[in-house]
Amino acid sequence: MRVSDSDVVLSVIIPVLNEAEVLPSLLAELATQRAECQDLVEVIFVDGGSSDASLSLIADSGFRLLSGPRGRAKQMNFGAAAAAGSHLLFLHADTQLPECAFERVNNALRSGLWGRFDVRISGDAQMFKVIAWFMNWRSRLSGIATGDQGIFVRETTFIEVGGFPDQPLMEDIALSSLLRERAAPMCLRNKVETSGRRWQERGIWRTIILMWRLRYLYWRGVPAEQLASRYE
């Protein structure tokens, strides 16, 4: 049974597009986390047009499922607009949360405006530990978070900055830049675990070089629409 909107403290928003492979473990983890959290939590999946078993898996879980416009930024903004919580957590479908994640987010947002978790990368490659260390270190120095780190924010602050900029790539960096103007992020050392599949599929070093090049070009002012074609 869905709780009253007025009782929800945290809304977890997850964009999906053909994520049937990773959804079973995510759904089980979310159910456990919500059952253990003392605050009231709603989980919202926003589908961008999946053609695999994603929709049936989510429907069977009992979590809230919305159909929105395709595009990660669009889907997350769509979910946020429908959310009832005063706190928002944006989560990728291939990311697993640490223990007591919902309570940690709510506690952090009672004193801060926004933040993110540290990250580890799943997979056998030893290089993943190095990549994750640099991601966390860079984020602390720059005040910029990536979607892999599980960005969380007060709902009022999210509205004030206009949500995720409507762009096909780097939407997490763009949002972080807006939020950083309001306050430095709260960097939780508890680690989310994100999948190393894109590094393994494309090659670790090739992916590292590609992502650094794309971020550099974005910093230089190249439109995200142009970068998205290079990313694909």
Task: Decide if 200 is inside a domain.
Answer: no
Task: Decide if 51 is inside a domain.
Answer: yes
pLDDT, one tens digit per residue, over 45-94 is 999 999 999 999 999 999 999 999 999 999 999 999 999 999 999 999 99
Name the residue range of residue 131's domain.
5-195
pLDDT, one tens digit per residue, over 112-156 is 999 999 999 998 888 999 999 999 999 999 999 999 999 999 999
The total domain count for the chain is: 1
* Per-residue pLDDT at 1: 37
Contact at 8 Å (CB) between 92 and 194?
yes
Task: Decide if 92 is inside a domain.
Answer: yes
Task: Decide if 80 is inside a domain.
Answer: yes
How far, in Å, CA of 216 to CA of 223, rounded?
A: 12
Task: Decide if 118 is inside a domain.
Answer: yes
* Per-residue pLDDT at 125: 86
* Per-residue pLDDT at 3: 47
pLDDT, one tens digit per residue, over 175-191 is 999 999 999 999 999 99
- For residue 122, what are the β-bridge partners? 195
Task: Decide if 47 is inside a domain.
Answer: yes
Whether pLDDT at 227 is above 80:
no
Task: Decide if 205 is inside a domain.
Answer: no
Q: In whole numbers, what is the pLDDT of the chain averaged over residues?
A: 91
pTM assigned to the model = 0.92
* Per-residue pLDDT at 196: 84
Least trusted range by pLDDT, from 1-10, 21-30, 217-226: 1-10
Report residue 6's pLDDT band, with 50, 70 and 90 as the boundaries: low
* Per-residue pLDDT at 23: 97
Task: Decide if 228 is inside a domain.
Answer: no
H helices, E strands: number in the chain: 10, 8
Strand duo 152-154 + 87-90: pairing: antiparallel
- Scan for tokens 């670790």, then name that residue: 204
* Per-residue pLDDT at 145: 96
For 192, phi then psi, to 5°, come to -80, 155
Report residue 5's pLDDT band, with 50, 70 and 90 as the boundaries: low
* Per-residue pLDDT at 230: 66
pLDDT, one tens digit per residue, over 86-116 is 999 999 999 999 999 999 999 999 999 999 9
Q: Name the residue among 83, 70, 73 with its Cα closest to residue 12.
A: 83
How far, in Å, CA of 172 to CA of 84, rounded?
A: 22
Contact at 8 Å (CB) between 113 and 86?
no
CATH of the domain at 9: 3.90.550.10
